[in-house]
Structure formats: C-alpha cells, structure tokens
DNA sequence: AACCGGAGCTTGATTGGTCAAGCAAATATC
DNA sequence: GATATTTGCTTGACCAATCAAGCTCCGGTT
C-alpha cells in the first residue's frame, strides 16, 4: 500500500480520469458486443472461439490443457469446462497425451475447424468495426507495446 | 488464421494483431489485479468500490438504482445484488424514493464513506501502477476519445 | 373512479467463471 | 525399488453476473 496513512495522494488529472473511465467502459462493452455479433452470426461465444482459434494455430491442431488455458487467459478448470462444452458440440475431442499419461490434448476436429472457418470472418469484422476502426491514425505498434506492459501481471516498479 | 478457400476477408496486420491480443490480455488481467490489490489492502472488490465511488460523487450521496447501475456498467439486477452486499456490511442503506414510491435510493452511510476514504488511495495507486504508468508520453486525451468511441455500443458505420 | 399499460426494482433460474480439494501418473529421494 | 512429493487435470462448492418473470406503483384513458 503505497500511501502511508495521512496525506491523501494526488488525484488523477482530467485526462487520466477520462481514459480510465473509457477503458472501464470498453472492458465491459466490447466483449459483449463482439460476442453478440458472433452469436448472432455464427453461434460461437468468444471464449469458445478463442479456444478453437488457438488450437487451429498449432501445427497438428492439438494442445495440452495447460498451455491452452494460458493462451485463452482462463484458469485450468475454466479451460476444462470450455473444452467439455466444445466436446459435446463435436468441435473438439480429447486424447490422452502419449508421452505423459496424466496429460490430455484438446484436438480440433474437422467439424471444429469448419466451424472456425465459418466464424472467423464475422469475428474479424467485429474486431475491426468495434475496436480497430477507432484507432486509425494511431501508432498501433507503440500502443500494443504499452498494453503488453499493462497486461503483464506484476509491474516491476 | 490459416487462410483457406474462397473470398476471405483481409487478415489483420501484425500490429493490429498484437494490439488486439494485448487488449485481450489487459481486459483479463487488469480488473483482477486491481481487485487483488484492493482486497489485500482494504477489502473492497472493484464492483462494490465503484458503487460507493459513484454514490460519493453525488451531492447528497444517494442515487436511484437505475442510474447507479448504468454508471457501474451493471445490469439492474446485478446492481440490486451489489447494493444488498453493501447493505449487509452497513456501507449503504436503502430508502424509498419520496417522489416515486416504486423507486429506491441507495444511500452511502457514514461507514460507507469512511470505508471509501480508506480504499481510495490504494485504488488510485493500483490504477496508476498497473495502467497509467505504461502510457507516459502518450496523448491521453486523444487516447481517451478513441476509447470512448470504442466503448459506445453501436458503431455508426 | 376504475382500469389498463408501462416503469422501477427484486427474485428465481441459469451461466460461466474461480478456488480448493481430489485423483492418477511421474519423478525424486532414500 | 519403495515411498514421498509434485504435476496435470477434473470435480465440487461457490460466486457474481445475466435474463426473464414477477410485484408494486404510477399515470393517462375513459
């Protein structure tokens, strides 16, 4: 706790304040909006989409639960549950891991791959329309680096 | 992704891609991190903090459920439940609205105000440390405007 | 003045996530 | 090589949010 008792810290400047508020709003609105676009379009909730996406980017369309969870920003148990949902839809199948019998691979099925192909354009369109569009003229790379820093759990200080 | 057959839309540029990914990470990590900082510090989860905050910014420390829900980016029922949690901690009290007997006001109690005073510095510090710090040198006002546009549910197109 | 239609809020059911405990396989230690 | 520890994943209990249905009250019609 950076502020030892007593003195109140410097408040935010108006610009800082509105940035923080706007980010709060975006964090709330954006996932729902993208989700809605996709559900309306190709019935894949964002979490499930992300899982399929990450699987598809792998050479043999399979990944260990641990790794997949990390890439999807999900807890391991959250991942288990997501994969179960996908499995019951036939979009993913689970196989025991050969070199470690404790481990499982989530494997993208052909149906899953097909579904992803269907969903991909509408996801992409939503991301552009809802987000990227508003950052034309910005230095995206610089912005991306700042967000990467902010997304890294522990600031070094 | 793996770009298959037919007329597929233009994929994202690498910079766009990393911005989107980084934003995804931030949206996941940041609320949890701030929440953790605060819980460790002054036991106020972010949602409840936001509610108290908004109440405190009002001239008479009270607000109708509807309005409060909107400001907290919460559904009305979500707001009801949050206020109930706060009420059982004695930080907020509910009063029937005078000019409309259907309505309720959430009212910040003295205890609530005190608790907010305690929490405020650590919240502020967390926001700075976890977020604002990484945007030094940026044009914050411009950035805020872009986020405001992105946070407005329907893009005009 | 009795009646609707709709507004303001709460409640019930469901969802999608978390954390903690459990189980089975792997690895380290003796 | 037997036992203890650790790892990988699942399961159970819980929690905070959502939506849809319900209740109460308002206000305009007639």
Q: Backbone phi, then psi, for A142, in 5-degree steps? A: -65, -45
Residues above pLDDT 70, as percent of chain B: 89
Q: State the alpha helices, DSSP H only, in A8-109.
A: 14-42, 46-56, 65-71, 76-88
CB–CB of A15 and B141 under 8 A? yes
Q: Which residues are within 7 Å of strand D by their Cβ atom?
A: A 64-66, 76-77, 79-81, 83-84, 94, 97, 100, 102-105; B 45, 47, 74-75, 77-78, 81-82, 85, 100-102
Does A20 reach chain B within 8 Å, measured CB to CB? yes
* Residue B35 pLDDT exceeds 90: no
CA of B102, C1' of C13: distance in angstroms = 25
Exposure of A136 by Cβ count < 10 A (0-12 exposed, 13-18 middle, 19+ buried)?
Answer: exposed
Q: Closest to B9 (Cβ–Cβ): which among A20, A124, A140? A: A124
The whole-model pTM stands at 0.88
* Residue B132 pLDDT exceeds 90: yes
Using C1' positions and the CA of A74, the closest nucleotide is: C17
Banded pLDDT at B8 (limits 50, 70, 90): low
Q: Is the Cβ–Cβ distance between A146 and B132 less than 8 Å? A: no
Q: Backbone phi, then psi, for B105, in 5-degree steps? A: -110, 135
Which residues is A104 bridged to in the sheet?
A96
CB–CB of B147 and A26 under 8 A? yes
pLDDT single digits (tens) A70-124: 999 999 999 999 999 999 999 999 999 988 989 999 999 999 999 999 899 989 9
């Amino acid at each position: 706790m950076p502020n030892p008792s007593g003195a109140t810290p410097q408040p935010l400047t108006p610009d800082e304040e509105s940035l923080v508020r706007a980010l709060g709003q975006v964090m709330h609105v954006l996932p729902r909006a993208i989700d809605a676009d996709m559900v309306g379009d190709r019935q894949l909730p964002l979490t499930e989409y992300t899982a399929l996406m990450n699987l598809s980017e792998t050479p043999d369309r399979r990944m260990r639960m641990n790794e997949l969870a990390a890439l999807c920003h999900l807890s391991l148990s959250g991942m288990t549950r997501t994969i179960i949902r996908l499995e019951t839809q036939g979009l993913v199948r689970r196989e025991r891991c050969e070199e470690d019998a404790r481990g499982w691979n989530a494997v993208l099925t052909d149906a899953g791959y097909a579904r992803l192909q269907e969903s991909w354009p509408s996801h992409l369109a939503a991301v552009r329309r809802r987000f990227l569009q508003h950052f034309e003229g910005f230095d995206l790379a610089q912005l991306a680096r700042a967000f990467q820093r902010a997304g890294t759990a522990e600031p070094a200080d």
